[in-house]
Structure 1
Amino acid sequence: MRSDTIDTFLWNLAARVPAPGGGATAGLHLAQAAALLGMVARYTEGERYAEHADTVVSVRNRADELRVVGIGLAEADASAFDAVAQAYKLPRDSDEATEARSRAITEALVEAGRIPARVIRAAEQVLDLAEQLRPVGNPNVISDVAAAADAARAAASTARINVEINLVGIRDQLARIELGEALAGVDDLLIRADKVTAEVREQIQR
């Protein structure tokens, strides 16, 4: 996926195939959010911002790492959903085959749910960076901090619905608890993202 052109990816996204889908877009929302923060951090360097250098360098380095994480999760989600689709194609022409198919579906759904759960956790980290950078970032590109917060919001919200749709088919209670816990803080995360955007809008209107 990372070597695709944007046009190729969007054609694949629009195609009648199991993946890529919404889960992959959540990973890309995450990657874009991190990339935007990396860009703002690089514009917030030099003598004018020397007093904030430690914060800016820390944000830049972590944003670069999370950009790679986001792309990796987008690719992992596409692979995981392919595995779900293959599990549903398994034969059920005997009791043993039906049981094996059911196990394979559950295992694939659990793994497919874990990936967007990781997107949620990473989106929270991206939002942490946006909150750090917003007060000190170069005002000429401060709107991109809001864009990053909105992209992180989209990543978390999209990932949440993907966890929820996978939970529908999972009967394993331990797996349901594990994935359910990943959803607990999403509403707060969305509120925090909206707050960053509101603060940026207020800043640019002064």
Structure 2
Amino acid sequence: MINSETITEYLASLASREPTPGGGAAAALHAAQGAALVAMVARYTTGAKYEQHAELVQRTINAADGLVVEALRLADADQHAFQGVIDSYKLPSGREDLRAVRTASIQEALILAAQPPTQLVKLAGAIVDLATELFEVANANVISDIAAAADAARAAATTARVNIDINVVAIKDTAARSRLADQTDGLEEKVILAADSLVRRVRERILG
């Protein structure tokens, strides 16, 4: 599992000539880092100076910590789901009945593989929303990390979108493709716009 590996071990696995972990896991770790940065900024926004915002800050800490856990879960889920696609392609296809089983297995695996990145785009949006809400009251000494969190979430969303696309184009069931489109179309654009807006606001506040 990715969340039990050291950073060095994970990067070595990512760089190896193996299909997993890949971009999906990397996207999830982008999100995990974004959420962790939001939690860090919130923890620096505590004490008497920020007492009037204590409820918002604590709510942000709790939510961000939860998103870190969920992002790491999605990293493992993505790796597992993509391995399912790989295993399906390895099924025997020498006879017509075996080819039918293999085809059905591949299609089911592709649909399942689109689920973790779909969830990840939504999670990335939640990170940007948290960061945006915290921005107004955040400790100015760590305000740049709000921008870092937004950019990490943005990277998670755009990478997840590509992983959705590569699965969807291979799915032959039009109803399944439509369901996935309903779940995901336009989501990453909203995350991108919100993240870009937040980064601009952070830079304006830093530069005065």
Q: TM-score range by the shorter chain?
A: over 0.9
Q: TM-score, normalised by structure 1?
A: 0.98
Which residue of 2 is the match for residue 205 of structure 1? 207
Question: Tell me, which stretches of 5 or more residues in structure 1 are unaligned?
Answer: none
Number of equivalences: 206
Contact 1:34 1:63 in 2 (8 A): yes
Moved over 6 A (4+): none
* Deviation readout 1:174-199 (Å, 9 max, x if unpaired): 22112212132211210110010110
Partner SS for 1:18: coil
Which residue of 1 is the match for residue 16 of structure 2? 15
Partner SS for 1:189: helix
Q: TM-score, normalised by structure 2?
A: 0.97
Q: How far off is 1:5 after superposition?
A: 1.0
Counterparts of 1:72 and 1:32 in 2: how far apart (Å)? 13
* Deviation readout 1:119-141 (Å, 9 max, x if unpaired): 00111111110110111100000
Which residue of 2 is the match for residue 106 of structure 1? 107
* Deviation readout 1:83-137 (Å, 9 max, x if unpaired): 1100000011111100100011011111110110000011111111011011110
Percent identity over the alignment is 47
Partner SS for 2:123: helix
Which residue of 2 is the match for residue 42 of structure 1? 43
Counterparts of 1:134 and 1:53 in 2: how far apart (Å)? 14
Question: Tell me, which stretches of 5 or more residues in structure 2 are unaligned?
Answer: none
AA of the residue aligned to 1:88: Y
* Deviation readout 1:134-160 (Å, 9 max, x if unpaired): 111000001000000000000000000
Contact 2:122 2:187 in 1 (8 A): no
Counterparts of 2:186 and 2:175 in 1: how far apart (Å)? 16
What RMSD, in angstroms, separates the aligned Cα atoms of the two structures? 0.8
